[in-house]
Amino acid sequence: MSEKKPARKAPARKAVSKTPAKPGAPKPKRSSRKTPAQLAKKAAKRVARVPAEELAAALAVFGAETGSVRPGQFPAALPGLDEAGLYAWWANEEGAAQLTDGLEALVKPGLIYLGQTGATNYKKRTNTATLRSRIAVNHIGGTIRGSTFRLSLAALLAAQLGLNLIASKQLDRESEERLSVWMDEHLALAVFPFVDRSRLSDLEKLVIARLNPPLNLDDCPPTRVRSRLRGLRRELSGE
């Protein structure tokens, strides 16, 4: 009877050494940009939640500049300012030309940005913000720290207006005032009140997808303008 040979032991695996991260080194950020397929999937869900007539009504307001007012005229006769809703900004020819110079990429006169205020979702179940508070306090009378729209404008106009950055996302008072004056001379805005806060974010994304304002960044397809704008905003943010 033959003797059984002892079973061979599997060779021990060598431990893979990991290079320790340097103290204070920033962790790599995961990209938040969506692929075209992801954007299409999200859009399909939004379409199911927003009736066609509501989308059509919003597009009718923002598809043309009718009913818009200059920031210095706000609130003028704009409707539903004490409700949640959408708002949009347009640039005149001179303003668009200056934005183009700052971006080194073409920005046409017309609709440049669209946003919402007052939306609720599974993360933010209560929201009392209104069109009046968002536009008056943050955009017209605010700072680049409290308004992503002002931050984008400042990033594009910093050299032309001589804006003075004193800290991350912080201009000195005179620079904020110069930016506000520029907005009054070159921009106009309009609103679309929307009382259903739970569906407001869906409506916003659908309108942005249809009208494609060049200075909107989130959930938008990449363009040269957006790529350049992201870089200039990082400079003001100290990122």
Model confidence pLDDT, tens digit, residues 92-128: 999 999 999 999 999 999 999 999 999 997 676 789 9
Cα 29 to Cα 22, 89, 175, 176, 193, distances in angstroms? 16, 31, 31, 30, 36
The percentage of residues in the chain with a pLDDT greater than 90, rounded to a whole number, is: 72
Span 56-64, mean pLDDT? 94
Tell me if residue 41 falls in helix, strand or coil.
Answer: helix
Span 205-224, mean pLDDT? 95
Q: pLDDT confidence of 134, banded at 50, 70, 90?
A: very high
Q: What is the C-alpha end-to-end distance of the chain, expressed in Å?
A: 76
Q: pLDDT confidence of 65, banded at 50, 70, 90?
A: confident
Query: Does residue 43 have a pLDDT over 50?
Result: yes
pLDDT at 103: 95
78 φ, ψ (degrees, to nearest 5): -65, 140
Q: Which residues contact 59 (CB under 8 A, 6 or more apart)?
A: 207, 210, 211
Specify whether the backbone of 185 is left (phi greater than 0), alpha (psi in -120 to 50) or beta.
alpha
